Amino acid sequence: MTMPAPLREPTAQAWDGIAGSFDENITPLNMSLGERLLRLAGLRPDERFLDVAAGTGALAVPAARMGARVLAADFSPGMVARLAARARDEGLLGVEARVMDAQALDLDDGVFDLTGSLNGVTMLPELGRGLAEMVRVTKPGGRVMVAAFGAPPPRTEFLGFFVAAVSAAVPGFAPPPLDPPPPPFQLADPERMRRALNDSGLRDVRVETVDWTMEIGSPEHLWEIVASGHPVGAMMAAAVPREHRRAVRHELAARLRERADGDGPALLTNPMNVGIGTR
């Protein structure tokens, strides 16, 4: 069995197709990480914050809770609608959500105190264009923060566990190729991240690696996370033949039970590189 090759540029329609499951399964896991990243970047109340390739609000919503004035931009209308609904449900009046291309932001130069992206701009096949746009719309002396997976897929545990289970259960399984790395993992090397941020025009760049820990309660939970997080993940999950899905879940259950060392949730750790620089 051969999995689909990674998509180089998932369309807005592909992201629209997973917007509901992304909002349900991914954004709640991302929220505490988003708040942690904003604190690392020094976000202050009343600052103007731009969330680029915002998904359904893992940075935008915590930023608004912290008192910032937030604009969230994503090229998927489905994601933007979900983000706006989430902010509205929380009564966060300081959030504006707009459909916008991260590679050509419809914004003036030098507007934002902090511009950030969590597993967003790094999804772009033309990363340099996205970073240049983030820098352009940031005030002189303002900060840009980019967070991305800090290890290749096999060492990003939520994905590594899934691929290992499919490998054990499905005859002839071949995981997606990793050379070149799929876009979500293109800054897994901290030095590559540092160079990319320096090349975008930032100064005083620092990069650190933090852990994003997920509590996984069941094989079905992990399956939904993989299928919800990216169109490629949705394709991978959908490509598992129905006759093998019970065996895959059995393998996942065994691996999660071993990690949990009991009946509680399994904690899966995913390294994240966080780069912060000054315009």
SS3 147: strand
- At 188-201, the pLDDT tens digits run 999 999 999 999 99
- Prior bond of 62 cis (ω within 30°): no
How much is the pLDDT for 9? 57
Instruction: List pLDDT tens digits, range 103-125.
Output: 999 999 999 999 999 999 998 88
- Distance CA(236)–CA(248), nearest Å, equals 13
Q: Does residue 2 belong to any structural domain of this protein? A: no
Q: Specify the pLDDT at position 83.
A: 97
CA distance 23 to 19: 6
Pairing relationship of beta strands 203-216 and 266-278 according to DSSP bridges: antiparallel
* 144 in a structural domain: yes
- Residue 62 inside a domain? The answer is yes
Is residue 1 included in any domain, yes or no? no
CA distance 247 to 166: 8
Residue 4 maps to a domain: no
| CATH code: domain of residue 175 | 3.40.50.150
pTM of the model: 0.92
Q: What is the pLDDT of residue 2?
A: 47
Q: Give the pLDDT band of residue 263 (cuts 50, 70, 90).
A: confident
Q: Across all residues in the chain, what is the average pLDDT?
A: 92
pLDDT per position as a tens digit, 2-24: 444 444 457 889 889 999 999 99
Task: Give me the pLDDT at residue 20, please.
Answer: 94
**Range of 65's domain?**
12-278
Q: How many domains does the chain have?
A: 1
Q: Does 123 fall in a domain? A: yes
In a domain, 18, yes or no: yes
Domain annotation covers residue 125: yes
